[in-house]
Amino acid sequence: MMPLREDLQFAARPRLIRYLARAIHGFTIMARDDVSVQVNWAINNCIHYLAGHIVGLSDPAEPLTEARLDGIMEQVARLNTGIAEEIEAELIR
């Protein structure tokens, strides 16, 4: 099995966008927990950045650059382990 970064780098565009949408959904689930305002702010920030990547990548001509991939990796690293594993498994199916 390839590391997540490579899975994302070589995923077909629809699968990549679905992964990002699933990550956003995962963050909304995490935000339901009884957490501090600061944690909810951090979750909202992750959602903001991932949504921006979806907007950019919804244009088929927009390349998945190393910088964009770095940004995606930075945000999804903040998902809780269970959610991260679930959506990663779907990515590689």
Task: Quote the mean pLDDT of the chain.
Answer: 94
Distance separating alpha carbons of residues 7 and 92, to the nearest angstrom: 7
Q: Which residue, among 28, 18, 36, has the nearest Cα to 83 in the 3D structure?
A: 28
What percent of the chain stands above pLDDT 70?
A: 98
DSSP, residue by residue, 37-75: HHHHHHHHHHHHHHHHHHHHHTSTTS---HHHHHHHHHH
Supply the pTM of this predicted model: 0.93
Query: What's the rounded mean pLDDT across residues 37-58?
Result: 97
CA atoms within 13 A on the CB side of 63: 3
pLDDT at residue number 56: 97
Does residue 12 register a pLDDT over 70? yes
pLDDT at residue number 91: 84
Contact indicator for 4, 59 with CB cutoff of 8 Å? no
Does residue 72 register a pLDDT over 90? yes
